[in-house]
Structures are given as C-alpha cells and as structure tokens.
Structure 1
Amino acid sequence: MTAVVALEDVSYCFPTSSQPALADVSLRIDAGRRIVVLGRNGAGKSTLLLIMAGLLRPQRGRLYLGATPVAYSRQGLRRLRQTVGLVMQSPDEQLFSASVWQDISFGPLNLGLSDAEARQAVTEAAAMCDVTDLLDRPTHALSSGQKARVALAGVLAMRPRCILVDETTSGLDAWARQQVMQVFDRLVAQGGTVVLATHDLALARRWADLVVVLHEGRVMTVAPPAQVWADPELRMLIAPSEFWYGDE
C-alpha cells in the first residue's frame, strides 16, 4: 500500500536556531488513520506539519506525495495541497476574508474549481462542520468555536485526503471540541486521514490509532497508544510526570 504522504530522512533548521527543528525524520502516513503527534514544546510538532503541508521545504531529505517526490513548483505544491490540508493552531491565522462564505470558497477557487464546483464544495464542507447558518456572517464576529469550525471547513472544501491539525481543539469548550472531533471521525470513516499535533494526553489515548512521539526533532517511536503509555521512558519524553496524573 502506498502512503498518502511520507517523509524520508527529513531535516530542517530555522535560521535563528543552532539546533535542528527536525533531524533525519522518516515517517509514513497511510490512508484511514487517526494519528496523534505528541512531544514537549519545541519537539518539532508544528515544523513536522508545516513540512508535510509544503509550507516549509526540507533542507535535507524528501517529502513524498504517494510514491512521488514533491516538486516545489507551483504545479507540484498545488497537487500537494489538493491532497494534504493544514488547519493551523489559531483560526485567526487562517481566516482573512470578509465573510465565512468567501473564506471557505477561497481554497477551492484557488485550486481552479469552477464557481459551481466551488459552491458545491463550500456547501458540503459547511454542512460537515455545522456552519451552514454562518455563511453570511463576517468572520470577525464569530466565537472561537465557530472560527475553529469555519477554518476546518475552509480546508475540507479543498477535499484533501489528509488533514493536518495543529492543536485546533485547544482553547475550545467541551461542546466545540466534541463537534470538531466528530468532523475528524467522519473524515476518517470516509477513508481520509487526520494527523493531530496536541498536548492533550487524554484525547490522544482514547482517539488515536497511532501515536508519533517527537523529541528534540527526532521520531522516537510510532506505535499504538497502549504501547506508548506502557513505556515510562517514552512518557517522560512527552510530558513531565505530573501531567500524567489521572491519565494512567
């Protein structure tokens, strides 16, 4: 089976740092998976997602879309973004149009869909994220939970096979978090993949099929949650012992 997206020996170092954000990372993302990326602050979680989304280019190694190396041309990146969508940590980083409709339709239109095709994509994504009644609202007037669902709808409207999510559920109340997770569940049920970077240990344990543990830019393991939770050394790489209280 061919991976949806894969990294091969990928390294990346930001100009302002002497330490690599990612170091020799190899990772395969298959279809129909619920994957959670865990690690302490600075472990490389956000950098990993930015590389997979094509927003950062590996300084060493390769990113693959299926079995094909990603070409960092306009056409190559468009092909990547038709398959892989990124939901950023803060919806305000993603919402920039005047209205919800304009914001959700931006991606499909930018990918070259016709007006009719984009309209259909917006309608489907809005329904999936339960924001149909918000389509005429200005984006600045939305609550934090509404913004999170609209940002997600904007990514889903491009109909990607894989969604990368950077801490989108943090800061939401329980009801809004449940709504977002239900959208992820529907996407996986349809054969899609969700890769979620989070600090929420309880969510990772109950929701993930696989957990990727990052430490200082390196992948320490890719394993089911039960296997990670059973390993004291891995647990300490993810979070200090006090963060595991109540999640034994």
Structure 2
Amino acid sequence: MTAVLTLEAVSYHFPGHPTPALQSVSLSISAGRRIVVLGRNGAGKSTLLLVASGIVRPQQGRVWLHGAPVDYSRSGLRRLRQHVGLVMQSPDDQLFSASVWQDMSFGPLNLGLSAEEARQAVQEAAVLCDVTDLLDRPTHALSGGQKARVALAGVLAMRPQCLLVDEVTAGLDLWARQQVVRVFDRLVVAGGTVVLATHDLVLARRWADLVVVLHEGRIVAVASPAEVWADPALRALIAPSEAWEEP
C-alpha cells in the first residue's frame, strides 16, 4: 500500500519535561486502514497525533505526505490540512464559533474553498456525521455526544484522506460512541484512514485492523489486534491486568 503519511525517526521533547514525548518514532500510515494507537498515559499518543497533523514540528526526524517532506510554511501546512485532519480529545477545544454552521464552515473557507464549495462540504460532512438537524444550533447548547460529532464533522468538512482522532469516544455513552464509530467506518469504506488514540481496549480489539503500541515515547509494536492481545508483555505495557477483562 502507498503511504499517505510517514513519520521517519521523529523525536519531540516538551520544554521542562524530564523525558522526551517521542523518541525516534517511525510509522507508515496507508490508505483504507483502521489504526488504533494504544499505550498508558504519558506514552506519547497525543504527541504522535500532534506531530502527524503538523501542529507540532518534530525536533528530529521528518514527516512525509504522499512521499514528499512536509513543508511547515503557511502554504505547506494548508496542503497538509487538505489531506490530514485532527479531532482533539475535548470537543470544547475545537468548537469556537457561535453556531454549528459557522464552526463547520471555518475550515473549508480557510483552505480557500468558495462559499458554495464550503456549503457543499459542510452539508456532506453533516450528513456523514448525522448532524444536519444541528446546523443552526449554537455550539454551547449541544450535548457531549453532539459536540463530539460536530467537532468530527468540522474536520471532515475539509475532506481529509487521513483522520487522526485523540480519545474522542472517551466520556460518551454507548449510543454516542456507536454513532462516532459508524462515521469512522464510512470514511474507511470510502478509502480514507482513521488513526484513533484510545484507552478503550474493547473498541480497539473489535474495530482496528492494525494496532500501534507506544511506551515511553517509543513504538514497541505494530501488529494486528490478535497478535497484541496474545502477547502478555505487550499487554502489560498498555494497561494493568484488570483493564483487559471485558464486561
């Protein structure tokens, strides 16, 4: 498979932190994949997504988009955002406009789409995420599940090929989680890729076709869920033993 996004020996160290957040991380992300990133708190999952999305520039190593190194100029990052979208852990960190329509249209307009092109992109994303009935609602009046789907729709309105998702299902009820996962599935069926950082082991096992295991800022395994679940050493790096007991 041709890689959409490639991280090559990427390292990043936040100022004031005693240890690096990422240490020589290399990862190839191909089209049409359901990828889950697992690891304990502090393993580097969120930083991996920030680097892959271009929000954080690696201090060492390189990020490649479709075989070309990412350009961190304004125009280069705009090109990256046309292909790679990031959904943050908290929708409140992502929703900033007064209405759902304004929030969802901001990204497409910022990419240079015309008003009509942006309107079409918003409508398509709203249908995909089942939020068409929310377009005229104020963002502050949404429920937690609605905010999660609207934040996701706002990113999808920019039509990324690769969607990076940071713990978006955390704190949602079962129905809301299922709605979000359905959106992921629709995107993958259409040829896109979803990279989901999560602590939800049940979702990871049932949904992913590839699991990336992070530990102390390093990738220690890239394998199928079956291979990860069968390896006690890997399981111990991801979560305590009681977390693996499915209800």
Both structures adopt the same fold (TM-score exceeding 0.5): yes
Cα deviation code 1:141-187 (max 9, x no counterpart): 00000000000000000000000000000100111110000000000
Matches within 5 A, 1:219-234: 219-234=219-234
Q: Which amino acid aligns with 1:98?
A: A
- Cα drift, residue 100 of structure 1: 0.3
Partner of 1:154: 154
Partner of 1:190: 190
Partner of 1:57: 57
For residues 36 and 203 of structure 1, the distance between their equivalents in structure 2, rounded to whole angstroms, comes to 9
Tell me whether 1:16 sits opposite 2:16 in the alignment.
yes
Long gaps (5+) in structure 2: none
For residues 19 and 225 of structure 1, the distance between their equivalents in structure 2, rounded to whole angstroms, comes to 28
SS of residue paired to 1:64: strand
- Cα drift, residue 214 of structure 1: 0.1
Q: Which amino acid aligns with 2:194?
A: V
For residues 168 and 181 of structure 1, the distance between their equivalents in structure 2, rounded to whole angstroms, comes to 10
For residues 179 and 20 of structure 1, the distance between their equivalents in structure 2, rounded to whole angstroms, comes to 35
For residues 159 and 25 of structure 1, the distance between their equivalents in structure 2, rounded to whole angstroms, comes to 27
For residues 231 and 212 of structure 1, the distance between their equivalents in structure 2, rounded to whole angstroms, comes to 14
Matches within 5 A, 1:50-199: 50-199=50-199
RMSD: 0.7
For residues 16 and 152 of structure 2, the distance between their equivalents in structure 1, rounded to whole angstroms, comes to 31
For residues 8 and 16 of structure 1, the distance between their equivalents in structure 2, rounded to whole angstroms, comes to 25
Cα deviation code 1:95-133 (max 9, x no counterpart): 000000000000000000000000000000001111101
SS of residue paired to 2:62: strand
For residues 113 and 216 of structure 1, the distance between their equivalents in structure 2, rounded to whole angstroms, comes to 41
For residues 102 and 141 of structure 2, the distance between their equivalents in structure 1, rounded to whole angstroms, comes to 14
Q: Which amino acid aligns with 1:149?
A: R
SS of residue paired to 2:163: strand
For residues 8 and 217 of structure 1, the distance between their equivalents in structure 2, rounded to whole angstroms, comes to 14
- Cα drift, residue 41 of structure 1: 0.2
Q: Which amino acid aligns with 1:218?
A: R
For residues 19 and 67 of structure 2, the distance between their equivalents in structure 1, rounded to whole angstroms, comes to 30
SS of residue paired to 2:35: strand
For residues 139 and 202 of structure 1, the distance between their equivalents in structure 2, rounded to whole angstroms, comes to 30
- Cα drift, residue 246 of structure 1: 2.8
Q: Which amino acid aligns with 2:94?
A: Q
For residues 95 and 60 of structure 1, the distance between their equivalents in structure 2, rounded to whole angstroms, comes to 31
- Cα drift, residue 18 of structure 1: 2.2
Partner of 2:41: 41
Cα deviation code 1:45-82 (max 9, x no counterpart): 00000000000000000000010000100111001000
For residues 173 and 206 of structure 1, the distance between their equivalents in structure 2, rounded to whole angstroms, comes to 17
Partner of 2:206: 206
SS of residue paired to 1:127: helix
Q: Which amino acid aligns with 2:230?
A: A
Partner of 1:25: 25
Q: Which amino acid aligns with 1:178?
A: Q
Give every structure 1 segment of 4 or more consecutive aligned residues whose post-TM-superposition deviation is greater than 4 Å.
none
SS of residue paired to 2:211: strand
Cα deviation code 1:189-219 (max 9, x no counterpart): 0000000000000100000000000000000
